[in-house]
């Protein structure tokens, strides 16, 4: 009680002229705003979303069991086309999982203060996306129950080891490392904020849980010194990591010899694509979140506009990559390469190629116009298109390269089965379950960091 009172007394209104947090919020108001969704019973909208996500996930789970029971034959895959919607989905989610760490790490190193409003939820998104991707790639194998541990190099009596030359094995390490580091990074960032909501928690159980989670954080400056140092190092580690992960994922294709996969441009091309899709997903989610939880003051239009600029830039980067692929195919003089790319654009799967181009390259061009960059509906729709486009980018790369390769005799086509599509929906549900639980139980805004970039109360201003 005493606490609350002091908080009341200490409340001071000051004229503010800041950009990063609008509406002249004070420190304590930050806590109020961020903690509100956590301390009240979830809204109807939240429940609708959550139940929908659960339903989708349940359907996916049932179909996954069917796959386990009958074999991956229930999917549309066939002889030349060993990968289809399954690996497409994997790359899709891994890609989305890149924005978070990028925002929290690279923008941190570049001292981009505006990141503070969005990095927490972006990181959460990263972690859940990578979780989803991991599940997808694990269950795409013919014998998941074995893949689950044979892919790990655990010491065993028979001295069997994985093949460290295989890009898939690199994936195992890249994705799991990325997940672990992102998770720790995210949790570390959470500790002071958990402490904040802990100190306002009324409910005993909640307070207990939060106390444990906060590791007993007291805001001591001795701690802050180590904490800040560690945070900086994490940013330093994550930056090359985030770049490496999608490079490794791109190796899954670049290291093979298949025309359309065997391409040196893939690592940067994939990373750009990942940032592209990641930011698109962040925009999609934050536009919803700031509406739902009244976080307009923290996730400001400026933030969104900056992200839209990045979306447009990376969109043009991938567009450039699309072009270069064609140029190199022609320049290489390899009949196989040339055929593959012509077949991409004008073969049986031409539609997927042009969906990709229009969603990823053309539509983001809207953001040249400031009005569109700052319009919530426009950016929401565009971000959705980008998500779709990036799914099809992976589909194009994987399927169109596989379905017509070296020997014309073995050409075939691939149509995803309803089971695959159902599972795809299921994975989306899986992702949103986690995300919704996150916004419900943990501070979606990095309060500590926001406060540090807010306009600081100063002597002169106090008691004015």
Partner 1 sequence: MHNEKKEPVLSGVVGFFDEPDSLIEATAKVRDSTFKHFDCFTPYAVHGLEHAQGLPRSKVPYVTGIFAFTGTATAFAWQYAASKVWWPHIIGGKPMNSLPAFVPIIFELSVLFGGIATFFAMLAFNRLPNLRKRAFDPAITNNRFAILIENPNAGKDEEEGQEAFHPDQAEQFLKSLGAKDVRKVFEEGWFS
Partner 2 sequence: MESTEKKSSEVKFETPRLWMSPEELTPAYWADEEKQTRNAQEFYDKPIETLEKIEALDRAGLSRRDFLTVMGASMAMASFACARRPVNKIIPYVVQPQELTPGNPLYFASTCRECANSCGLLVKTREGRPIKLEGNDEHPVNRGKLCARGQASLLNLYDPDRLKGPLKGTKGGDKGSANWADVDSLVTAALKEAKRVRIVSLPESGDSTRRAIREFMAAFADARWIEVDPLGQDELADGQQESYGTRVAPEYAFDRAEMVVSFGADFLGTWGDHVRNAQKWSKTRKLSAAKDSLSKLVVFESNLSITGASADERFAVLPGTEVAAALAVAHEMIVTQKKGRFAGNADVTSALSGSFEEWISKAGSLDQAEVKKIANELWEARGKSVILGAGSPGLHAVVNLLNSNLENDGKTIDGNANALPYSASNRALAGLQAELESGQIDVLVIDRANPVYFLPSGEAFASAMKKAKFVVAISDRMDETARFADVVLPVNHALESWGDARPDAGTFSLQQPAIAPLFDTRSFQDVLIGWTRGGVRSSGLLAQVAQNPKGSFYDYLKENWKQSLYPAHGKGRGFNEFWESTLQTGVLEVKAGPSRERPFRTASLKLAKDAVQKISSLSLGKTKKGPSLEATGIALGLYFKPSMGDGRSANNAWLQEMPDPISTITWDNHLNIAPAYAAELGLESNDVVIVKNDQFTAEVPVKVQPGIAKGAATLALGYGRTAAGKVGTAVGINGFRFARFDGEAGFRLDGITVSIKSTGKKYQLAETQGHHRIMGRPVLNEITYDAFKKNPNASMETEPAVKMETVPTLWDSPVDYSKSPHRWMLAVDLNSCTGCGACVVACQAENNTPVVGRDRVRQSREMHWMRIDRYYSGDENSPTVVFQPMMCQHCENAPCETVCPVVATSHSEDGLNQMTYSRCVGTRYCQNNCPYKTRRFNFFDHWKDYKDTMNMVWNPDVTVRSRGIMEKCTFCVQRINDAKSKAKDAKASLKDGDVRTACQQTCPTDAIIFGNVNDKDSAIRKWMENPRAFRSLEILNTRPAVHYLTKVRNAEASEEGKEHGHG
Residue 122: which residues within 8 A CB-CB, separation 6 or more?
Answer: 99, 100, 103, 104, 278, 282
Give helix 85-96 / helix 376-395 axis angle, nearest 10°: 140
Residues 207-226 that bind partner 2 (CB under 8 A): none
C-alpha dist (Å) from residue 300 to 50, 99, 376: 25, 18, 11
Residues 165-204 that bind partner 2 (CB under 8 A): 165-169, 172
Does the protein bind partner 2 through residue 395 (CB under 8 A)? Answer: no
- When binding is defined by CB under 8 A, the residue of 23, 142, 219, 323 that contacts partner 2 is 142
376 binds, among partner 2, partner 1, none (CB under 5 to 8 A by kind): none
- When binding is defined by CB under 8 A, the residue of 22, 78, 338, 365 that contacts partner 2 is 78
Q: For 108, how many CA atoms within 13 A lie in the half-sphere containing its CB?
A: 29
**Shortest Å, Cβ 53 to partner 2:** 29
With respect to partner 1, which residue has the nearer C-beta, 141 or 256? 256
440 binds, among partner 1, partner 2, none (CB under 5 to 8 A by kind): none
Residue 215: which residues within 8 A CB-CB, separation 6 or more?
Answer: 191
SS (H, E, C) 292-339: HHCCCCCCCHHHHHHHHHHHHHHHHHHHHHHHHHHHHHHHHCCHHHHH
**Shortest Å, Cβ 113 to partner 1:** 12
39 binds, among partner 2, partner 1, none (CB under 5 to 8 A by kind): none
Alpha-carbon distance of 461 to 454, in angstroms, equals 14
Alpha-carbon distance of 164 to 248, in angstroms, equals 13
Which strand (E) or helix (H) includes residue 289? helix 266-293
Alpha-carbon distance of 382 to 211, in angstroms, equals 41
Does the protein bind partner 2 through residue 80 (CB under 8 A)? Answer: yes
**Shortest Å, Cβ 174 to partner 1:** 5
Number of residues forming the site for partner 2 (CB under 8 A): 48
223 binds, among partner 1, partner 2, none (CB under 5 to 8 A by kind): partner 1
With respect to partner 1, which residue has the nearer C-beta, 221 or 409? 221
**Shortest Å, Cβ 194 to partner 1:** 9
Diameter over CA atoms, the chain: 83
With respect to partner 1, which residue has the nearer C-beta, 158 or 371? 158
402 binds, among partner 2, partner 1, none (CB under 5 to 8 A by kind): partner 2
Contact mark string toward partner 2, 320..339, x via CB under 8 A = ---------------xx--x
């Amino acid at each position: 009680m005493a606490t609350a009172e002091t908080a009341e007394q200490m409340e001071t209104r000051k004229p503010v002229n800041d950009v990063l947090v609008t509406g002249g919020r004070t420190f304590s108001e930050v806590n109020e705003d961020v903690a509100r969704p956590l301390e009240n019973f979830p809204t109807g909208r939240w429940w609708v979303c959550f139940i929908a996500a659960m339903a989708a996930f349940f359907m996916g789970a049932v179909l996954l069991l069917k796959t386990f029971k009958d074999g991956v034959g229930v999917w549309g895959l066939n002889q030349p086309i060993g990968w289809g919607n399954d690996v497409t989905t994997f790359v899709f989610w891994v890609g989305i999982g890149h924005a978070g760490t990028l925002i929290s790490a690279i923008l941190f190193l570049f001292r981009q203060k505006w990141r503070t409003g969005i990095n927490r939820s972006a990181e959460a998104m990263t972690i859940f996306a990578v979780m989803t991707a991991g599940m997808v790639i694990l269950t795409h194998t013919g014998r998941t129950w074995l893949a689950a541990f044979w892919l790990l190099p655990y010491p065993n009596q028979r001295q069997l080891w994985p093949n460290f030359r295989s890009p898939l094995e690199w994936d195992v390490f890249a994705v799991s490392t990325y997940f672990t580091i992102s998770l720790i990074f995210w949790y570390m960032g959470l500790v002071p904020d958990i402490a904040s909501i802990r100190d306002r928690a009324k409910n005993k159980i909640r307070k207990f849980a939060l106390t444990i989670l906060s590791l007993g954080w007291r805001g001591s400056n001795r701690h802050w010194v180590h904490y800040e140092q560690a945070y900086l190092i994490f940013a330093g580690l994550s930056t090359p990591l985030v770049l490496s992960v999608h490079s490794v994922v791109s190796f899954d294709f670049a290291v093979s010899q298949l025309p359309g996969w065997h391409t040196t441009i893939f690592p940067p091309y994939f990373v750009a694509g990942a940032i592209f899709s990641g930011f698109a997903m962040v925009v999609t989610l934050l536009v919803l979140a700031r509406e739902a939880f009244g976080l307009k003051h923290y996730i400001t239009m400026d933030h969104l506009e900056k992200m839209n600029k990045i979306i447009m830039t990376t969109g043009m980067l991938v567009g450039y990559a699309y072009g270069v692929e064609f140029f190199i195919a022609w320049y290489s003089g390899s009949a196989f390469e040339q055929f593959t790319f012509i077949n991409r654009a004008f073969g049986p799967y031409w539609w997927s190629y042009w969906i990709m181009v229009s969603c990823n390259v053309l539509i983001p061009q809207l953001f040249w116009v400031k009005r569109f960059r700052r319009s919530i509906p426009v950016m929401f729709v565009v971000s959705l298109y980008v998500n779709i486009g990036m799914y099809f980018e992976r589909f194009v790369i994987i399927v169109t390269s596989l379905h017509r390769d070296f020997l014309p005799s073995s050409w075939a086509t691939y149509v995803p089965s309803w089971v695959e599509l159902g599972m795809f929906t299921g994975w989306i549900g899986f992702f949103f379950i986690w995300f919704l639980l996150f916004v419900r139980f943990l501070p979606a805004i990095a309060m500590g960091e926001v406060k540090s970039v807010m306009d600081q109360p100063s002597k002169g201003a106090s008691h004015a």
